[in-house]
Structure 1
């Protein structure tokens, strides 16, 4: 099992590599077709490019799912400068980077009703088992991107890798990220977090 800092570095390296791969339309399409499916149901071309990137770090389903989510990014369709945003985030300390709860807060805070609905959606999300969670994330990611609230996919990868054994810890951190995020006027800036990432507690990542 990789030390927490090594795993976090891997998550950044993996997501950057996938983003580079998505510049090739055929690879982007192959990854996008995964749509949170089990690894053995994904496109063979996806296996060819992802297996070397994920080797030695386990949690294959988490890697394949996050790769499919990254493929949903369309820099030409969103006003966000995604490359600059991801670079800024990778320069932050890990505990200050936005988690999925933070992204929901950034996207749905226009009115108290929007925030209440987003809070209910998040509470339902953290009670999902791995299969349901992975299949729900593509639709949620599309909504976040449409609201110019791009998730931090490296943080999400680490969270999904820890989901089986640290779901309560991850879920609590997502709730904290949501409720501790103030209403924002600039959705491009990540919000500081105040709780440690569960990898600091050395989660057990499943073998490849």
Structure 2
């Protein structure tokens, strides 16, 4: 008989972030909400007044929230909103889409806030430190989602068509630029990278990116290492697949 392991503070926080990202994505079907969030791109927290009514209810309330963590909530929301309206459409939009100006439910009515956890914790960096590693035996890497490095690699190797393919040189340059940034620098540079990925049709793992932003001040070296490793592992795997396929084609051609 197997027993479920108790949820840690990181588990509860990750569940909250998943709900937050899903709610923001759904809320962006309202043009007014989307416009308010998109206006916060590359702005500091003192100059994003239209965003507070949307984002503030989701900020953790059980502890002091560092400004870096607050900025992660605002930046992710603004980058999610920085997309054309049609990308938020669903099959039943005619019935479910909120009208412009209609109030949208927050976490108080739609999603419960995370409560006290089974495992005591210190800071968000303590709770999410294992996620930055992504290689512990008890927590498989798949659990932590797709890093930004992995997403950039996917844009290179799976670009659907030449006009939407991200060149390896551009992706690599962007990745190295991002890994050298402070938290403030990431907030300046990430929106352009997110837009670039969107143009290639590559989905970003917003929850994974949000966790990385929250822990960046304490774990930037570890997170940067994982981004770079994920990028080069994925692009190298793709090169090997192409090489093997070319070898198979050569053998088939020789046999004809």
Normalising by the smaller structure, the TM-score range is 0.7 to 0.9
> How far apart, CA to CA, are the structure 2 residues paired with 1:136 and 1:64?
15
Deviation at 1:169, TM superposition (A): 1.1
| Counterpart position of 1:119 | 172
Deviation at 1:120, TM superposition (A): 2.5
> How far apart, CA to CA, are the structure 2 residues paired with 1:47 and 1:77?
24
Could you say what the CA RMSD is over the residues aligned between the two structures, in angstroms? 2.6
1:41 maps onto 2:47 in alignment: yes
| Counterpart position of 1:13 | 19
Deviation at 1:147, TM superposition (A): 0.2
1:106 maps onto 2:112 in alignment: no
Helix, strand or coil at the partner of 2:167: helix
> How far apart, CA to CA, are the structure 2 residues paired with 1:138 and 1:46?
17
Deviations 1:80-102 (A, max 9, x none): x9xxxxxxxxxx9523x211111
Deviation at 1:114, TM superposition (A): 2.4
Helix, strand or coil at the partner of 2:202: coil
Deviations 1:165-204 (A, max 9, x none): 11011111111221121439xxxxxxxxxxxxxxxxxxxx
1:22 maps onto 2:28 in alignment: yes
TM-score (structure 1 length as normaliser): 0.73
> How far apart, CA to CA, are the structure 1 residues paired with 2:213 and 2:42?
12
| Counterpart position of 1:183 | 238
| Counterpart position of 2:132 | none
Deviations 1:130-175 (A, max 9, x none): 1111011111111100000121111111110001111011111111
Gaps of 5+ in 1: 82-91, 185-208
| Counterpart position of 1:73 | 83
> How far apart, CA to CA, are the structure 1 residues paired with 2:29 and 2:85?
10
* Higher RCO by CA contacts (8 Å cutoff, separation 6 or greater): 1
> How far apart, CA to CA, are the structure 2 residues paired with 1:75 and 1:173?
33
> How far apart, CA to CA, are the structure 1 residues paired with 2:21 and 2:169?
31
> How far apart, CA to CA, are the structure 2 residues paired with 1:98 and 1:73?
20
1:173 maps onto 2:226 in alignment: yes
Aligned structure 1 segments of 4 or more residues deviating by more than 2 angstroms: 55-58, 73-78, 92-95, 108-111
Q: Is the 8 A contact 2:38 2:82 kept in 1?
A: yes
Q: Is the 8 A contact 1:14 1:54 kept in 2?
A: no
Q: Is the 8 A contact 1:33 1:68 kept in 2?
A: yes
Say how many residue pairs are matched. 168
Helix, strand or coil at the partner of 1:183: helix
